[in-house]
Amino acid sequence: MLDHFHDEVRHAWDDVLSTFPHPRYELIPQMVVHDGDEAVRGYYTYTRTAFPTRTTRSSRCDTAPTR
């Protein structure tokens, strides 16, 4: 799990997507589903273009990567 957060902060999308058996994001409040590699990559690209300073943080995210 921590690898996923570290990779999101680094915008290392290949590494992030490798943490999923099947990439899928469900945004319940918006009733939007991004299903599959291409759709999730599109979500990342869009949200990081629209909000370039957005980061995903975890209280433990500032530790050294475990890989």
Supply the DSSP string of 21-67, one letter for each residue.
Answer: SS-EEEETTTTEEEESHHHHHHHHHHHHHHSTT-----TTTTSPP--
The domain locations on the chain are 2-50
The pTM assigned to this predicted structure is 0.63
Residue 55: CB atoms within 10 A of its CB come to 13
* pLDDT score recorded for residue 39: 96
**Structure tokens, 42:** 């599109």
**Cα–Cα distance measured from residue 30 to residue 39, given in angstroms and rounded to the nearest whole number:** 16
CA dist., res. 64 & res. 34, Å (int): 30
For residue range 11-65, list pLDDT tens digits in order. 888 998 898 899 998 999 999 999 999 999 999 888 877 666 555 554 444 444 4
